[in-house]
């Protein structure tokens, strides 16, 4: 379904469609207000897996380790992003010039160079910048 764009699971409350049933179930909690709460800080989450990741932040627990360098991460998605530094994988391609990027955010920032967009403005002098960290 990822490649076909098929989204057969529709929310009966708002009409939004999803490609996986689990995504619909998670979305439906936005209508019911059902949440699970962190016993340490009281923060609420609509999905139990989000609470588990949050609790790892509180405890400092990092279960996902890079076998290449030993660096550890609290969730698998951050490990996968990190592994690209070892493999050189660059799955995001600029449609304008063909340049490849490891992270989608780097592609988005790069695409601004083609249109000259400077999305971040200095509050002191008004000068525009392509990236927030350039301020």
* pLDDT, tens only, 80-133: 999 999 999 999 999 999 999 998 989 988 888 887 777 788 888 888 887 777
Provide the pLDDT confidence category of residue 1 given band limits of 50, 70 and 90.
low
Let me know: does 89 contact 101? Beta carbons within 8 Å. Answer: no
Q: What is the per-residue pLDDT for 29?
A: 75
Q: Which helix (H) or strand (E) holds 21?
A: helix 21-32
Q: Any idea which fold 9-59 has?
A: Double Stranded RNA Binding Domain (3.30.160)
Domain regions of the chain by residue span: 9-59, 92-129
Q: Which two tokens stand for residue 84?
A: 């690209």
Q: Of the candidates 68, 91, 65, which has an alpha carbon nearest to the alpha carbon of residue 78?
A: 65
Q: Which two tokens stand for residue 40?
A: 């340490």
Domains 9-59 and 92-129 share a fold: yes
Q: What is the per-residue pLDDT for 45?
A: 86
92-129 carries CATH number 3.40.50.150: no
Residue 72 has pLDDT above 70, yes or no: yes
Q: What is the per-residue pLDDT for 26?
A: 77
Q: What is the per-residue pLDDT for 94?
A: 93
């Amino acid at each position: 379904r990822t490649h076909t764009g098929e989204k057969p699971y529709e929310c009966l409350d708002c009409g939004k469609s999803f490609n996986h049933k689990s995504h619909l179930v998670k979305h439906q909690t936005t209508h019911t207000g059902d949440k699970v709460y962190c016993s340490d800080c009281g923060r609420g989450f609509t999905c139990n897996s989000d609470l588990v990741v949050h609790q790892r932040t509180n405890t400092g627990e990092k279960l996902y380790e890079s076998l290449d360098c030993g660096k550890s991460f609290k969730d698998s998605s951050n490990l996968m992003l990190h592994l690209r530094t070892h493999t050189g994988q660059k799955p995001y391609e600029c449609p304008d010039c063909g340049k490849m990027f490891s992270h989608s955010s780097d592609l988005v920032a790069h695409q601004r160079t083609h249109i000259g967009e400077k999305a971040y403005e200095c509050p002191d002098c008004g000068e525009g910048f392509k990236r927030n960290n350039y301020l």
